[in-house]
Amino acid sequence: MKIGYARVSTTAQNLDMQIKALTDAGCEKIYEEKVSGVGERVELKAALQYLRDGDALVIYKLDRLGRSMKDLLAIIEQLQQKKVSLVSLRDNIDTGSTTGKLVMHIFAALAEFERDLIKDRTSEGRAAAKKKGVKFGRPKEEHNEKAKACAQLYRGGMTVPQIMQQLSIKSKSTIYRFLRMEGIEPNRAK
């Protein structure tokens, strides 16, 4: 079964051209959406849930489906797991065909290459910064000062929630860790 998905980014835009192309392509059911690619795409989610083994998701163009290459590849992977092919009419891609599979593998390889480049650049940047003496993470002095303040307030009778409020610390586990740093085993009932 061919299932269509049509999307425009704003309510002012018109879906007619996409719907006609999807209908002409033989789609038996078409999900329509007027929402930005960054918004929640309820109809896309419904279309993906509706699809069954052997079906084809038909779209007008790839940019109607994914908001980024990463997003597009995640959707394609989801379709592959369900044994559903993807057909992009304007891009002339059909993952049910040998050529379409090749194109998708090239896209996937490019996305993986991009992820690896970003990871390499990040690692190189961190290494260069460390060589220059840059230290990562919170300064230890700040931890020591907060730990001492926590211990002092705790010994003075304050409860953990009161210490959290007093020192603007958002997590009980941080208070417990600071207390342990100062040799205090906190009473969790406090």
What positions carry a catalytic annotation? 9
CB 114, CB 79: distance < 8 Å: no
Q: Alpha carbon of 68 to those of 62, 93, 111, 143, 165: distances in Å? A: 10, 17, 10, 40, 41
* Cα within 13 Å of Cα(158), Cβ side: 17
Any idea how long the chain is?
A: 190
SS3 state of residue 75: helix
Any idea which residue has 């033989």 for tokens? 26
What tokens appear for 164 in the block?
Answer: 């959290």
CB 25, CB 4: distance < 8 Å: yes
SS3 state of residue 167: helix
